[in-house]
């Protein structure tokens, strides 16, 4: 059942990619995006510089349709820019960090995998990391990658170039449940992730895991259960940080097809609060949740009145790790959320 659903998602996603991808621009026509945000930097309150490098993007999205909720491939360009231009882009983006002080992290995203050399050639990767190795206020460098590119050689090289700064690799595992992951068309298994985790731990790199809150086809309560279960399992595996990513409806994705038909609703913000309150105190890993598009129909939302307050509380919790930020939050729609969860269970 799940295998055929995965094939179906892949089929529709590939069709959507064909329709939307031609609008991508040639290399060099899109500058990098970057911004500064508060961050929890290795146990301390600090800031992160987030840089999105425009590369050719995720091969999984290009060749297999990619993950059902992911539209990041449309942020990419037709081919990866040459290493010198990537480095130039990075340095330009880094200028935004001029006003920041210690401790800061640098998050380098590519709408795909930092360790896939089709996206970031090794020369560009080395030069970016070498540049950061001389920046005293930078304590941690976080990059994203699918597991198949996290090789011993690539990680070792990166650690050596960084000369003692912490390298953290973020992986979009989405869930520890292989059946649920197949509903996302992720294309790798928990055992693939475990092998990568083992490599990263052996080399003393940090490991951050993204969990998707409410993949398509899961009811709200099932999604809550799936994420809580995943957090508990990941904590036992000693991952360093877990980022809860509430599903948002990106343009040109399979999830958008469902959403337009009325068959998908992004998670309630109450569900995010519940998950963190339920697992807090049981686990050692840092938990963060910085939703995007909160309060919008395409993003996680409640009633419209309380969304901004809850979004702020989640983000404050993420930076401080102080659970008080999430206690005593209230709104009339909390009851509506509880009824929604119950009715959804009864009606199917
Ligand atoms: S979520 Fe990650 S692996 Fe999946 S398509 Fe997007 S970039 Fe690729
Ligand atoms: Zn409300």
Distance 222 CA to ligand 2 centre (A): 22
Could you tell me what percent of the chain has a pLDDT over 90? 93
Q: What is the pLDDT of residue 346?
A: 86
Q: Which helix (H) or strand (E) holds 84?
A: helix 83-94
Q: What is the pLDDT of residue 165?
A: 97
User: What is the Cα 82 distance to its own chain's centre?
Assistant: 26
What confidence category does residue 345 fall into, taking pLDDT thresholds of 50, 70 and 90? confident
Distance 188 CA to ligand 1 centre (A): 11
What confidence category does residue 15 fall into, taking pLDDT thresholds of 50, 70 and 90? very high
Cis peptide, bond prior to residue 27, ω within 30 of zero: no
What confidence category does residue 30 fall into, taking pLDDT thresholds of 50, 70 and 90? confident
Buried b (16+ CB within 10 A) or exposed e, 329-345: bebebbeebeebbeeee
User: Mind listing the pLDDT tens digit for each residue in 147-160?
Assistant: 999 999 999 999 99
Q: Is the pTM of this model over 0.85?
A: yes
SS3 label, residue 216? coil
Helix/strand/coil (H/E/C) assignment for every residue in 112-147: CCCCCCCCCCHHHHHHHHHHHHCCCCEEEEEEECCH
**Which residue's alpha carbon is at the smallest distance from atom 7 of ligand 1?**
112
Q: What is the rounded average pLDDT for all residues in the chain?
A: 96
SS3 label, residue 4? helix
Dihedral over alpha carbons 256, 261, 265, 266 (to 10 degrees): 0
Q: What is the CATH number of the domain that holds 126?
A: 3.20.20.70
SS3 label, residue 18? helix
Residue 62 clears pLDDT 90, i.e. is over it: yes
Q: What is the pLDDT of residue 305?
A: 98
Helices (H) and strands (E) in the chain, counts: 12, 8
Q: What is the pLDDT of residue 102?
A: 94
Ligand 1 atom showing the smallest separation from residue 146 Cα: 3
Distance 305 CA to ligand 1 centre (A): 32
- Cβ atoms of residues 344 and 221 within 8 Å: yes
Q: What is the pLDDT of residue 348?
A: 63
Range of the domain at 303: 2-346
Residue 233 clears pLDDT 60, i.e. is over it: yes
Pocket test for ligand 1, best of 53, 62, 67, 149 (most atoms within 8 A of CB): 67
At 45, give phi and psi (nearest 5°).
Answer: -75, 130
User: Mind listing the pLDDT tens digit for each residue in 66-123?
Assistant: 999 999 999 999 999 999 999 999 999 999 999 999 999 999 999 899 999 999 999 9
* Domain tally, the chain: 1
**Which residue's alpha carbon is at the smallest distance from atom 4 of ligand 1?**
67
HSE-CB for 275 with a 13 A CA cutoff: 33
Pocket test for ligand 1, best of 9, 58, 247 (most atoms within 8 A of CB): 58
Q: Which residue has the tokens 């950061």?
A: 132
146 lines ligand 1 (CB under 6 A): yes
CA distance 249 to 251: 7
User: Mind listing the pLDDT tens digit for each residue in 184-203?
Assistant: 999 999 999 999 999 999 99
Ligand 1 atom showing the smallest separation from residue 60 Cα: 8
């Amino acid at each position: 059942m799940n295998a055929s659903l995965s094939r179906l998602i892949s089929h529709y996603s590939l069709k959507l990619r064909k329709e939307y991808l031609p609008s991508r621009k040639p290399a060099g026509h899109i500058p990098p995006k970057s911004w500064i945000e508060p961050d929890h930097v290795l146990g301390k309150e600090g800031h992160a510089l987030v840089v999105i490098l425009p590369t050719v993007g995720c091969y999984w999205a290009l060749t297999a349709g990619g993950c059902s909720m992911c539209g990041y491939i449309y942020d990419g360009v037709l081919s990866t820019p040459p290493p010198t231009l990537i480095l130039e882009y990075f340095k330009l983006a880094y200028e935004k960090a001029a006003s920041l002080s210690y401790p800061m992290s640098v998050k380098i995203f590519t709408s795909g995998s930092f360790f896939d050399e089709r996206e970031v050639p090794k020369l560009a990767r080395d030069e970016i990391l070498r540049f950061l190795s001389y920046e005293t206020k930078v304590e941690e460098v976080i990059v994203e990658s699918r597991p198949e590119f996290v090789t011993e050689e690539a990680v070792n090289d990166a650690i050596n170039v960084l000369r003692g700064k912490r390298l953290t690799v973020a992986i979009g595992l989405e869930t520890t449940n292989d059946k649920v992951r197949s509903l996302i068309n992720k294309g790798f298994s928990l055992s693939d992730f475990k092998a990568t985790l083992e490599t990263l731990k052996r080399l003393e790199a940090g490991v951050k895991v993204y969990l998707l809150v409410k993949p398509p086809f899961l009811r709200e309560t099932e999604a809550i259960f799936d994420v809580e279960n995943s957090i508990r399992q990941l904590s036992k595996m000693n991952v360093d940080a877990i980022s809860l990513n509430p599903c948002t409806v990106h343009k040109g994705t399979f999830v958008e097809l469902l959403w337009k038909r009325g068959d998908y609703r992004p998670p309630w913000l109450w569900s995010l609060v519940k998950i963190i309150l339920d697992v807090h105190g049981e686990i050692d890993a840092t938990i963060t949740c910085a939703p995007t598009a909160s309060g919008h129909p395409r993003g996680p939302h409640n009633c419209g009145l309380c969304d901004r307050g809850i979004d702020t509380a989640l983000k404050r919790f993420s930076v401080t790790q102080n659970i008080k930020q999430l206690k005593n939050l209230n709104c009339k729609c909390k009851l509506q959320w509880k009824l929604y969860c119950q009715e959804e269970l009864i009606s199917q």
